[in-house]
Each structure stands twice: as structure tokens, then as C-alpha cells.
Amino acid sequence: MTRIAYGKLMRFLTARLSPGGELGLHLTAGVIMLVVAVAAFGEIADAVGEGDDIARYDEQVSQWFYAHAFEPLTTIMFGITHLHGIPAMSVLSALLGLWFWRRHAPYWLLATAICVPGGMLLNVLLKHVYQRARPAFDEPFVTLATYSFPSGHTAAATLFYGLLASYVVTTSASWRVRAAAVAGAAAMVALVALSRVYLGAHFVSDVLAAMAESLAWLTVCITSVSTLRRRRAARQEQ
């Protein structure tokens, strides 16, 4: 490698790893996250489509939860799942957008406007692509006519809480607050996913695929909006 080529490579790497750069560390991290999330979704989707061992495990886990369901846990799980349906998540997303607007955070308002609605449209599209049937039971807790893969409730929770955690991580200077936001978001997503599997609305692979799908879309939204903000800021400084 010539000295000129080495210099160009180092300048490229420095720019890609610059925390404040227009196309810096945020874009590099976003691309890595996107690749990992898409790869994870692809692996799960391939396993489900090919009927690998994951399908057998899915059925075993679903039957186990159905056989061990009890009150008041069932009522609690119904409450969690109802709070993360389309009506409730639409209201929560609107309130979050209103909060960003009142805090004069236009880029986060834009992220909210495209993240949850766009992610849910993607989820519906994927459901019709894979057309997986829901778990079947003699006396099901829920009866749904829509497709199972990937989980819509889990996708909505991942998008909403992921967006909220992203805001805290990028605006808070405290590592404890950042860690608490990420842990809280992960816990809420896991709780919603558990409620869907517990109630027999989804297989485990459905909720895992929804997490991967939503993380990919969330990454696209956050990275795109962040790049737009940095680009406009750079132009204003010129």
C-alpha cells in the first residue's frame, strides 16, 4: 500500500469514527446495527420457512405456556397485550410526538412520525409475505384471523420503547440514566413478547423476528434523522 493510499484510508476511517462528523460514528454504528438486525431476521425467517427444529421448539413452548397458564397471571398478560395494541400504541406515539414538539425537538418529532407508523406498515407487509398461521389450541385465549409472523405487538413495543431509549441515550450525560433507559426498554419489550407467547397469539420465533425487524427499521429511522440533523447543522456553520 502506497503512502498516498494509506493516507486516504486513514482519513476515511477517521471520518467514519468521528463522533461529531456528518457521516461519522453514528452512521458507522447504524450500518453495523442494521446489518446485524437484518441478518438475525433472515436467519429466523429461513428457519421458520424451512420447518427446521425451531418450528418444533415453537410448538413445544406454546403448548407449555398454554398448559401452565393460571390466574391472575392470565389477566395481567391480557392487560399488557391490550396496552400495546394498535389503538394504545397510536395514542402513546402521538403523546410522545407532542412531547417532542413541546420540547422543540423537531428531529425527534420527525423520527416519531416515521418510526412507529412505518415500522407497523412493514410488519403488515411481512405478515402477508410469510403468511404463517397462528398457534392452535382446543380452547384458545385469543382468536385472531391475521397472520402470526412477525408479531405486531412486539414490533410496536420495540419501535416505541426503542425510540424512547434512543432519545435518552443521545441526550443524557449520565451513563446510569442511559443504562437504565436501555434496560427499561428491553424489559418492556420482553414483557410484551412474553404476553403474546403466553396468550397463545404467537410463537417464540414470531416475537424474536419482530424484535429484529423493528430494530432494523428503528436503526434506519434514527440514523437517517441524525444524519439529516448533522448535515443541516454543518451547512449552517458554513
Q: Summarize pLDDT for 154-196 with one digit per residue, the tens.
A: 999 999 999 999 899 888 888 899 999 999 999 999 999 999 9
**Domain hosting residue 138, numbered range:** 23-237
Q: Which residues contact 200 (CB under 8 A, 6 or more apart)?
A: 62, 65, 66, 134, 135, 137, 140, 141, 142
Query: What is the spatial distance between Cα 11 and Cα 31, in angstroms, rounded to a whole number?
Result: 19
pLDDT, tens digit (0-9, with 9 covering 90-100), for 197-227: 999 999 999 999 999 999 999 999 988 888 7
pTM of the model: 0.84
Cα-only R_g, the chain: 20
Higher pLDDT, residue 5 or 226: 226
Question: What's the grid cell of residue 53?
Answer: 427444529
Higher pLDDT, residue 10 or 157: 157
Catalytic residue positions?
153, 202
Question: What's the grid cell of residue 194?
Answer: 412474553
Is pLDDT of 127 > 70?
yes
Query: What is the average pLDDT across 48-73?
Result: 86
Domains in the chain, number = 1
Percentage of the chain lying above the pLDDT 70 cut? 84
Q: Is the residue at 4 inside a domain?
A: no
Considering the chain, what is the average pLDDT of its residues? 84
Q: What is the pLDDT of residue 12?
A: 43
Q: Is the residue at 14 inside a domain?
A: no
Higher pLDDT, residue 52 or 32: 32
Q: Is the residue at 5 inside a domain?
A: no
Q: Which CATH number is 102's domain given?
A: 1.20.144
Name the 3-class secondary structure at 104. Answer: coil
Sign of CA dihedral 44, 125, 98, 225: positive
Asked whether the beta carbons of 207 and 81 are under 8 A apart, the reply is: no
- Residue whose entry in the numeric block shows the C-alpha cell 410469510: 130
Q: Which residues contact 65 (CB under 8 A, 6 or more apart)?
A: 197, 198, 200
Asked which of 12-21, 55-64, 89-98, 225-234 is least confident by mean pLDDT, the reply is 12-21
Q: What is the pLDDT of residue 14?
A: 47
Query: What is the average pLDDT across 49-54?
Result: 75
- Residue whose entry in the numeric block shows the C-alpha cell 477517521: 14
Is pLDDT of 236 > 80?
no
Cα separation values, 89 from 65, 159, 161, 192, 193, Å:
26, 10, 10, 12, 15
Q: What is the pLDDT of residue 49?
A: 80
Which of the four pLDDT bands, split at 50, 70 and 90, describes residue 17? very low
